[in-house]
Structure 1
Amino acid sequence: MKMHNADQNCGIAQAALVLGDWWNVLVLREVARGHTRFDALAAELGLSRKVLTERLGRLVAQGVLRRSLYQRRPVRYEYVLTDAGAATLPLLVAMQDWGDRWVLGDGSLTATADEEGAEHARVHALVGTRLPDDLALPGTHGPELPLVAPGARATVLFTYPGTGIEWDPSLRGAAGCTLENRLFRDARAEFEAADVAVRGVSTQLVHEQEEFARAEEVTHPLLSDAAHQLSAALRLPTFRGAGRLRLKRLVLVVDEARVVRHVRFPVTDVPHAVEESLRLGAATIRQ
């Protein structure tokens, strides 16, 4: 592609060389979702082997993906994000947020969702899907905590916009994060008796989560998705509030094999969602 001289020093123009291609963006979307092997990528994208090979080669050459050998006979590679590739995740999530609001939606800023909308359909389609194996997040219990608690019957993952924030009263669905964490905290004994683990996830920084956990005596792990790894992997709905992209409130019940068994979204009744997540987690059949 011939570029104007001014574009050589323009970060937007240079980024467009990588992200301005439809298939490049969708390949990165699928790799972020955990589809790292050639056949899986071809199946998800519906691409011919020739076109996929070309796009993967470009992304490797541009330093966004790297090939990792997983089989020697015959030789097979998987494609994983480099540091530069991982840095595109916030861009992908921001693109999704813009598309959800301005293309698939009516432009309204909201922390919840309509049951007839694209976000609702996308989140509920997670039932039956498996979380990426190597996805772990930093949080109040250490630098890398697995999303699914080892040995537990089920893990409840609940996402929330953020604690300790004065939300605009007109922003539907944002308030109630502190209440939600308190309710999960207060039900700790019931969840432990049912062998159901609990993890809260927000895009807040770890030190913000730690301050809140100390103040509220929250014992369940709070995980930071500030780098948008989980948001990109599951294509979770977001909204922009108080200066950053934030996760909309939802609940996933995941079994010990990392398969999503139940989804609650949108969450409009927080106490009921906590009670229901305990019931669904306790009813999850061990693998």
Structure 2
Amino acid sequence: MRMHNADAACGIAQAAVIMGDWWNVLVLREIARGHVRFDALAAELGLSRKVLTERLGRLVAGGVLHRSLYQRRPVRYEYLLTEAGVGLLPLLVAMQEWGDRWVLGDGSVTAAEDGAEHARMHSLTGTRLPADLELPGSDGIPRDVVAPDAAATVLFTYPATGIQWEEPLPGAAGCTLENRLFRDSWPAFRDAGAAVHGVSTQLPHEQAAFARAESVPYPLLSDTHLRLAAALRLPTFHGAGQLRLKRSVLVLDRQRTVRHVLFPVGDIPHAVQEARRLARTLAGHVRP
């Protein structure tokens, strides 16, 4: 890529050099989703081996990917995000949010029943979360997004709660109600062998303060760096100067596979009740 001399001091221009073209962006998108091996990337993207090899080489040289040997005969590598690569996830999620709203949508932050976000979320059924996907809990310690000892994990995402906003935060109304309803239903989830995890882009200490104030018994996980949002391409919106997760409920099995999706979530009490029913069904307590 030819650059003007003034571009040497421009962060946007330098980032554009690394991203290169749209194939580089899509390669990073798929790696964030957990497709880290060459054949899986080629299958997801429909790229020739020559072109994919070239793009992976550029991203490794740019310092956003590194190769990790997983097989010696024949030699095969996984392509994993470096720290610099993880730093690009907010950019990818912001691009998705912009495309959802201004290209695929009508400019509104509200999720439409027949919109692109709805279709993408419900296509998650059957998707398996990456095995190494951990998020910090309210204690700051990384925790698996899927509870390893539970027959089912209910993962609900919400914009934010527990903060006095200086400006209206679209989609955030009801977050406290949602947490309280999951809190009150938590014994039923526990007795069914199901775990409950709440996820937002708030910082761990913000979630910890809310958990203490509301006696929340289940983990609240922080997706501040948007690892989960990028892995599942979750719908987001901008609020109070930060990307926020739209409200959704996912029910996953022991194998980390998404079995049920509730999105959009408008009727919060119904969504919590339905999540409880689906979790009990998945855990084998009632017949499907």
TM-score greater than 0.5 by the shorter chain: yes
Into which bin does the TM-score normalised by the smaller protein fall? over 0.9
Q: CA distance change for structure 1 residues 67 and 231 in 2, over 3 Å: closer, same or farther?
A: same
- Give, in whole Å, the separation in 1 of the partners of 2:30 and 2:148: 26
Task: Classify the secondary structure of the residue corresponding to 1:130.
Answer: coil
Q: Is the Cα contact below 8 Å between 1:198 and 1:220 reproduced in 2?
A: yes
Kindly, what percent of the aligned residue pairs are identical? Answer: 73
Q: CA distance change for structure 1 residues 12 and 169 in 2, over 3 Å: closer, same or farther?
A: closer
Q: So what's the TM-score if we normalise by structure 1?
A: 0.96
Q: CA deviation at 1:219?
A: 1.1
- Give, in whole Å, the separation in 2 of the partners of 1:14 and 1:53: 22
Gaps of 5+ in 1: none
Residue in structure 2 matching 1:249, options 220, 238, 247: 247
Q: CA deviation at 1:20?
A: 3.9
Counterpart residue identity of residue 218, structure 1? V
Q: Give 1:94's aligned residue.
A: 94
Task: State how 1:1-287 maps to structure 2 within 5 Å.
Answer: 1-108=1-108, 110=109, 112-165=110-163, 171=170, 173-284=171-282
- Give, in whole Å, the separation in 2 of the partners of 1:47 and 1:67: 19
Runs of 4+ in 1 over 4 A off after TM superposition: 165-170
Q: CA deviation at 1:165?
A: 4.3
Task: Classify the secondary structure of the residue corresponding to 1:107.
Answer: coil
Q: Is the Cα contact below 8 Å between 1:141 and 1:222 reproduced in 2?
A: no
1:5-41 Cα distance to aligned partner (Å, 9 max, x none): 1011111111011124110000000000000000000
Q: Is the Cα contact below 8 Å between 1:153 and 1:282 reproduced in 2?
A: no
Q: Is the Cα contact below 8 Å between 2:169 and 2:240 reproduced in 1?
A: no
Q: Is the Cα contact below 8 Å between 2:161 and 2:172 reproduced in 1?
A: no
Q: CA deviation at 1:174?
A: 2.6
- Give, in whole Å, the separation in 2 of the partners of 1:165 and 1:125: 33
Q: Is the Cα contact below 8 Å between 2:159 and 2:175 reproduced in 1?
A: yes
Task: Classify the secondary structure of the residue corresponding to 1:199.
Answer: strand
1:193-251 Cα distance to aligned partner (Å, 9 max, x none): 10110000000000100000001011110000000000000000000011110000000
- Give, in whole Å, the separation in 2 of the partners of 1:56 and 1:96: 22
- Give, in whole Å, the separation in 2 of the partners of 1:185 and 1:10: 48
Counterpart residue identity of residue 126, structure 1? L
- Give, in whole Å, the separation in 2 of the partners of 1:120 and 1:3: 40
Q: Is the Cα contact below 8 Å between 1:149 and 1:155 reproduced in 2?
A: yes
Task: Classify the secondary structure of the residue corresponding to 2:282.
Answer: coil
- Give, in whole Å, the separation in 1 of the partners of 2:148 and 2:139: 14
Task: Classify the secondary structure of the residue corresponding to 1:128.
Answer: coil
- Give, in whole Å, the separation in 1 of the partners of 2:76 and 2:283: 35
Task: Classify the secondary structure of the residue corresponding to 1:284.
Answer: helix
Gaps of 5+ in 2: none
1:168-207 Cα distance to aligned partner (Å, 9 max, x none): 6793x33100000011111111111101100000000001
